Amino acid sequence: MAEIYPWQTALWQQLTGRQRHAHAYLLHGPAGIGKRVLADNLVAYLLCQRPQGASACGQCKACQLLAASTHPDYFLLEPEEPEKPIKIDQVRELVEFVVQTAQLGGRKVVLVEPAEAMNINAANALLKSLEEPSGDTVLLLISHQPSRLLPTIKSRCQQQACPVPSTAQSQVWLAGALPEESAESLEELLVLAGGSPLTAQRLHGQGVREQRGLVVEGVKKLLKQQVAPGQLAESWNAIPLPLLFDWFCDWALLTLRYQLTRDEAGLGLTDMRKVVQYLAEKSSQAKVLAIQEWLLAQRQKVLNKANLNRALLLEALLVQWASLPGAG
């Protein structure tokens, strides 16, 4: 099991120092800051039969069963497929687990990640278990976007904001995780990851810089009318939609910011600075505001796993983007 991260030490000591635990915790914070590692360690600590100080012993029967993924008193609830919702049938299995007696005579522990993946029916099915868990049961909910959770879910949990690493902590950790990368590359990765070091490491493994280069090149060709929106959208099939919408939302915001401030230090990463400056000078503020509003609305649909036609959505985005420069 991975050790908790340096920026989590104070919270870990607080959690493990409690004499009594809440029946439900909501561990929330941005993606990529290590919430799952914190939760996994807390699961092990809560189930351990002989905890050593602030750590699970790793030797007792409970620890061995957990390590083998066969602990009868532990239930993990997550989407059956990546990026898919948690279904009501899955929550019903969880409810059946909660009402059973612990087989090892200790606690039962449930881990739900990400909690916002539950649709309304699934979330409502969980409410009774959150309000009145059977026996000594602790439910741990992990959320990257707590604003998407039902208020009734949040109100039944003890909400615990997870610490976000400082820029210095992120840089030190990422340098250790990716020792072959230059300081400049690490800084760029952290910007692309919104400052989250674990997300930066994951994006690096997915080839984010190559993907970003492909998108930036395509945007420049689009504005020069060297490629059609539909053709460009098709060439981006391998690039995740959330990533694309994050970048276009960022570029729209940078364009608007430069229109208002003329601050060249706020043009973002070097690969798009000239493009952002060009768009700011050639586009009306009204058009930039309109496309920013549209982007944010579509991004929310993407994050909510709406059933979208990817090709048509991207083509609509690129048609609007290509029309930004000019009168109007």
Q: Output the DSSP codes for 161-178.
A: EPPPPPHHHHHHHHHHH-
Whether the pLDDT of residue 107 is over 60: the answer is: yes
Q: Say if 113 falls within a structural domain.
A: yes
How much is the average pLDDT of 161-183?
A: 94
137 belongs to a structural domain: yes
For residue 128, the model assigns a pLDDT of 80
Residue 286 has pLDDT above 70, yes or no: yes
Identify any residues that bridge with 135 across adjacent strands, giving them in sequence order: none
> Whose CA is closest to 118, among 161, 89, 159, 138?
89
Buried b (16+ CB within 10 A) or exposed e, 127-161: eebbeebeeebbbbbbbbebeebbeebbebbebbe
Domain that holds residue 29: 6-161
Residue 72 confidence (pLDDT): 97
Same domain for 21 and 120:
yes
Q: Does 295 have pLDDT greater than 60?
A: yes
Residue 191 corresponds to which tokens in the numbers above?
């910007």
Residue 296: per-residue pLDDT? 95
Are the C-beta atoms of residues 98 and 134 closer than 8 Å to each other?
Answer: yes
| Alpha carbon 186 to its chain's center | 19
Number of domains composing the chain: 3
Looking at the predicted structure, is the pLDDT value of residue 308 above 60? yes
Last residue of one domain, picked from the residues 177, 205, 233: 205
8 Å CB contact between 173 and 5: yes
Residue 1 inside a domain? The answer is no
CATH code: domain of residue 70:
3.40.50.300
Same structural domain, 104 and 126? yes
- Tell me, yes or no, whether 328 lies in a domain: no
Residue 105: what pLDDT?
87
Q: Are residues 12 and 155 in the same domain?
A: yes
Nearest to 117 by CA among 162, 151, 77: 77
- Of all residues in the chain, what percent carry a pLDDT higher than 70? 98
pTM of the full structure: 0.82
Q: Is residue 151 part of a domain?
A: yes
Q: Is residue 260 part of a domain?
A: yes
Q: pLDDT digits over 114-141, tens only?
A: 999 998 899 999 988 887 767 789 999 9
**20-24, 170-174, 285-289: the lowest-pLDDT one:** 20-24
Least confident interval from 62-66, 126-130, 178-182, 283-287: 126-130
CB 155 within 8 A of CB 23: no
Q: How confident is the model at residue 287 (pLDDT cuts 50, 70, 90)?
A: very high
pLDDT value at residue 328: 55
Residues 148 and 171 in one domain: no
Matching residue, tokens 């000239």: 274
Query: pLDDT-derived band of residue 304, with 50, 70 and 90 as boundaries?
Result: confident
Is 327 part of any domain?
A: no
- High-pLDDT (> 90) share of the chain, %: 84
- The string of DSSP letters for 247-279 reads HHHHHHHHHHHHHHH--GGGS-SGGGHHHHHHH
Of 146, 161, 176, the residue that ends a domain is: 161
Position 237 in a domain:
yes
Q: Give the pLDDT confidence score for residue 81 in this predicted structure.
A: 87
| pLDDT of residue 170 exceeding 60 | yes
Q: What is the mean pLDDT of the chain?
A: 93
Evaluate if residue 46 carries a pLDDT over 80.
Answer: yes
* In a shared domain, residues 126 and 70: yes
Same domain as 64, residue 153: yes
Residues 70 and 189 grouped into a single domain: no
- What does the pLDDT read at residue 326? 78
Residue 52 confidence (pLDDT) above 60: yes
147 and 289 both lie in a single domain: no
State the pLDDT at residue 257.
96
Residues 42 and 55 in one domain: yes
Please tell me whether residues 61 and 170 are part of one structural domain: no
Residues 116 and 224 in one domain: no
| Cβ-count burial 313-328 (b if 16+ within 10 Å, e if not) | bbbebbebbbebeeee
Q: Is residue 1 predicted with pLDDT exceeding 70?
A: no
Same domain, 13 and 152: yes
Among the candidates 130, 146, 161, a domain finishes at 161
pLDDT band at 290 (very low <50, low <70, confident <90, very high): very high
pLDDT per residue over 210-259, tens digit each? 999 999 999 999 999 999 999 999 999 999 999 999 999 999 999 999 99
CATH number at residue 282: 1.20.272
